[in-house]
Structure formats: structure tokens, C-alpha cells
Structure 1
Amino acid sequence: MMAAEYFTYTGGDVTRIRIHESLTVIPRRAFYGRRNIEEVICDADVETIELWAFAFCTSLRRVIMPGVKVVSDGAFCGCEALTDVQCSELEIIGLMAFRHCKSLTSINLPSAKIIGGTVFKYCTALTDVKFGNKLERIERCAFIGCRSLRRITLPLKDSMITDDNIFTGCANLEHVDLAGGIHETVAALQLEEWKNDLNEEIDSINQILPTARAGGDLYNDVGEKAIVIRTWIRAVLRKIIHYKAQHHRLLADAATTLEFVSLPKDIVIENVLPFLELPSYTFEVEGWEGEGEM
């Protein structure tokens, strides 16, 4: 029994497990189907949870994995009681990793980069998901059947929504928040009309998304939610790029004016212009080489 590597058995049913600091990997199927486990706490040195390691641990309620970077395919699939997942360093989540976690209501994934296919499929109690600026890709059917999902936080990345079926069946998905400091950036724009226009574009998703069809069948009716979000991201990015260019033109004009009134150029560059620059906001857009900073 592989689970003996991770705890000292003293008789009776084991309900709480602490993964020792000497381990960096929890092997595949290590605790598969152990129905009595309620809590798992990983040492910060544990970095990888392999395939199906905790799948169908139907009493598992809490998982603390502060150093884990990779959760492999099916790792927590079928953990129907799971409600608390703490994973601040998690970067890659494999196929079906949290599929059928029917009690999970929210999850915060600030370091996530890759969200595999069907990761949260049929997590029917899930209402709120937060991603950070590191998110690169959400793959097919990731949230299919999450009928309670209402709110999701995403970065502005054009290539992130990879498939039209990502939010199929998410009938209650009505609100998208943007990760990062874009609102600070908008507030720093020089003209009020620019701020208003960009804020209206950002806020428009929350008027459009509630009316977009969720779809019902994976193959025949994937719905419009993912399409609407992808289209909105591109529209916001276009306006950001446009106003960034306008802002830089104003900066150039300001620099010329200051030099004209005999302010030394080095003073202008080092002490004046930085106060007019926009706060940094990293984004990606199709056709844009690399990352731009606004």
C-alpha cells in the first residue's frame, strides 16, 4: 500500500494526512479511492501531485498544498466533499483534475498558467473562480456543466480562451473581473473621454454575458459564453493599444514643450516624464509580438 510512505498507521481509519518534507512528489494513485481521508496537508517542498493520486477520496474536504506547482490528470477527480483548496503556487492543472468535485464552491488560482481540459467539469456548486495575470491557456470543456458558476476573474490575453465549449452549460455565468491593475492604468489616462470610453468597454461584458446562451450539448450546442468573452477581450485590447499610443504622443509633446521653455532635457526625462507615464499593465493580443506594457 503506497500510502504507507506518507503516514504512520496506528490502527483504525486514517482521516488526516500530512505529507513529509522529504517528499517532492506524491506518486500516481497513492491514495486512490481511500474514502475515509478528510484532510491533506502538504509540506512546502511538495511540488507535484501525480495522476489520480487522490481520485475518489469521497470524504476529502480540505487540501493544503502551498508549494505544489503541478496537479496531474485526475488527481482530485470525484472528491465529492472537497470544499477547501489552498494552492497559491499551482501553475499547471491536468485533465479532469477536479472533475466532479460537487461541493467545491470557489477556488483561487493566482499562479495558474495552464488549465487542462474538463478540469472543473460538473463542479455543480462552483460559483467563483479567480485567476491571476500568469494564466496562459484554458483548454476545452474546462468548466462545462458548472451551472452555478457566476463570476470569473481573468487576465487580458487574446489566446487564453482556446475553445468555444469552455463554458458550455454555465447558464449563470454573468460577471467577469479583470486580473491585475488595469483600472489604475485607465485612471492615469490624460483625457476624461479616453477613461470613459475604455471603462465602458471593460464594463460591457457584464451587460452582454448574462444574455449569451450557455448551450446544452457538448457537440451540437456549445453556447456563446466563451465566444463573447474572447470577443470582448480583443475589443478591450484594441482600445488599450490605441490609447497607449495616444498617451505616448502626449508625452512626446509635453517633453518638447518643457525643453522649449529651457528645462534641461535630463531633468525632463528623469524627474518630470515619469510622473506622466502610465502604470504598468501587461497584456497579450493576437498579432502583437511578445507582451506590451501599458
Structure 2
Amino acid sequence: MPYFWNSDTDLFDKSPWFDLKKEVRKVILEPGISTVSPGAFAWFSSLKTVEASGVVRICSGAFFECKELEDIETGNLSLVDVGSFEGCVSLAKVGERNSKIGLSGNEIRFVDDFAFSRCGSLERVSLPNLKMIGEGAFFKCSSITSVIAEKLEFAGDNAFFKCSSIEKFKVGNPCAFGKGAIKDIPKGAVMK
């Protein structure tokens, strides 16, 4: 997939399908597409589901502010860039076809800054091989009740800020936390 990024303005350029943003309800990314370009589907207001089983990287802002997006099926996803799903308030499931509700994936190693910020419908995070979480990655994900990332080595500043519903938080030992990374998580929920 080509990049829709304007280096002169440092902003997303409109994708060729941008004018369909109010009509598209489902996106199927065929096998062979390994990367979703920056801003490729940003502001697609009617998008509900995405099938992306061959995708290994979702670039910056790829699904930014897709407020109706509920479900994205992935396979070998390993990298979620800055703001990829930021503002996807209905997003409840990111993972393989038969995975449970929440964010899951054995291959995901890095979740960048604000990647899932304001995804208020996300209820759990289960990423067994996750190594790093960027700044504000799960900011205001107020429905998350469980985080399991046993190989996590670092969570950036405010990574889980305003995630006060977390009941279970199991991470790697040792794991370094940036400023305010776990500030709003109830103390009894943190397990190393």
C-alpha cells in the first residue's frame, strides 16, 4: 500500500478512496498487503470492520478517529504505530479471527505513542510478547479491566493514564514505567 503522507506539510494526504469515507463499512486487505499506510482510512466515519490477516504493521493514524470501528481481524501484526487507532471509541476487538473481545496478538512487540488512546470500548489487553508501550498508548481507555503483557520491559509516560477500571495488570519483571504510566491503576491490580 503506498504512503499517503505529505512530507512538506507533515500531514496525511488523502487516499484515493477518501471520498468514500462516509460510505465504507468494511475493509478487506488482501493477502500480500503487509502495511496499512499512514492515514489510509483516517476519519472513515461509517467503517465498522476490517479484515487485515496479512498485515504486520499499522502505520501512524491509519484508522484515526474511525468512531464506528468495532473489530479488526489481524494475523501476524507486530507493530502498531503512533495514533493508529486513536479516537476509535467503539473499538472492542483487535486480534485473530477467533480471539476474544479486546486487544490480543502473539506477534505484537511494540505499541507506539497514543496508538489506542481514547478507545473507550476496549476491555482487555493480552499481548504475551509485547516489549514496549509508548507514551499515552492506552490513554483514556476507561473500559480496560485486564492487561497481561508478561514480557513488557517498558511503558512510557502516561501509558495507562485514566484507565481506572483495571482489575488485573500483569507485566514483565523487571518493567520500567515512565512518569504517570500506571498512576490511575488501582494499587492492588499491579502484579509483576
* TM-score of the aligned structures, taking structure 1 as reference length: 0.51
1:58-73 map, 5 Å: 58-73=45-60
Are 1:160 and 2:154 counterparts?
yes
Query: Partner of 1:96 in structure 2?
Result: 83
3-state DSSP of counterpart to 2:154: coil
Map 1:212-291 to 2 at 5 A. Answer: 224-225=183-184, 232-233=191-192
CA contact (8 A) 2:170 2:191 kept: no
User: Structure 1 pair 83/228, CA: closer, same or farther in 2 (3 Å)?
Assistant: same
Distance in 1, Cα, partners of 2:154 & 2:184: 14
d(CA) in 2 for partners of 1:128 and 1:223? Answer: 16
Of residues 105, 111, 117 in structure 2, which corresponds to 1:109? Answer: 105
Q: Does 1:136 align with 2:136?
A: no
User: Within 2, Cα distance between the matches of 1:74 and 1:178?
Assistant: 27
How many angstroms apart in 2 are the aligned matches of 1:222 and 1:27? 32
- What is the rounded CA distance, in whole Å, between the counterparts of 1:153 and 1:172 in structure 2? 14
Indicate which of 168, 171, 176 corresponds to 1:175.
168
Render the CA deviation track for 1:150-189: whole Å, top value 9, x for unaligned.
Answer: 11221233x232x24111000101113579xxxxxxxxxx
Question: Superposed, which structure 2 residues align to 1:28-39 within 5 Å?
Answer: 28=4, 29-30=14-15, 31-32=17-18, 34-39=21-26
- State the 4+ residue runs in structure 1 displaced beyond 4 angstroms: 225-229
Structure 1 regions of 5+ residues with no counterpart? Answer: 1-24, 180-218, 234-294
CA shift digits 1:30-64 (9 cap, x unpaired): 24461111001111210011110000101111101
Matched residue, 2:144: 149
Higher relative contact order (CA 8 A, sep 6+): 2
Task: Check whether the contact 1:145–1:169 (CA below 8 A) recurs between aligned residues.
Answer: yes
- Cα deviations by residue, 1:171-214 (Å, 9 ceiling, x for unpaired): 101113579xxxxxxxxxxxxxxxxxxxxxxxxxxxxxxxxxxx
CA contact 1:32–1:52 (8 Å) conserved in 2: no
Amino acid at match of 1:79: C
Gaps of 5+ in 2: 5-13, 93-101, 173-178
**Does the 8 Å CA contact 2:128/2:151 hold for their aligned counterparts?**
no
| Cα gap change, 1:26 to 1:62, in 2 (>3 Å) | farther
Aligned residues: 166
Q: Is the 8 A contact 2:111 2:134 kept in 1?
A: yes
Q: Distance in 1 between matches of 2:157 and 2:186?
A: 6
Report the counterpart of residue 67 of structure 2 in structure 1.
Answer: 80
Matched residue, 1:44: 31
1:154, 1:46 → 2: CA distance? Answer: 27
8 Å contact 1:26–1:53 — kept in the other structure? no
Which structure dedicates a bigger proportion of its chain to helix? 1
Is 2:47 aligned against 1:54?
no
The structure in which a higher percent of residues are strand is 2
Residues 164 and 226, structure 1, Cα contact 8 Å, conserved in 2: no
What is the letter of the counterpart of residue 110 of structure 1?
Answer: N
Query: 2:114 corresponds to which residue?
Result: 118
Q: Which amino acid aligns with 1:42?
A: L
Q: Which residue of 2 aligns with 1:27?
A: 3
Mapped to 1, the partners of 2:36 and 2:88 lie a distance apart of 17
Report the alpha carbon displacement of residue 228 of structure 1 after superposing the two structures with TM.
6.3
Q: Deviations over 1:221-277 (max 9, x none)?
A: 765257969x843xxxxxxxxxxxxxxxxxxxxxxxxxxxxxxxxxxxxxxxxxxxx
Equivalent-residue separation in structure 2 for 1:160 and 1:71 (angstroms)? 21
Q: Quick one: percent identity of the two aligned structures?
A: 23
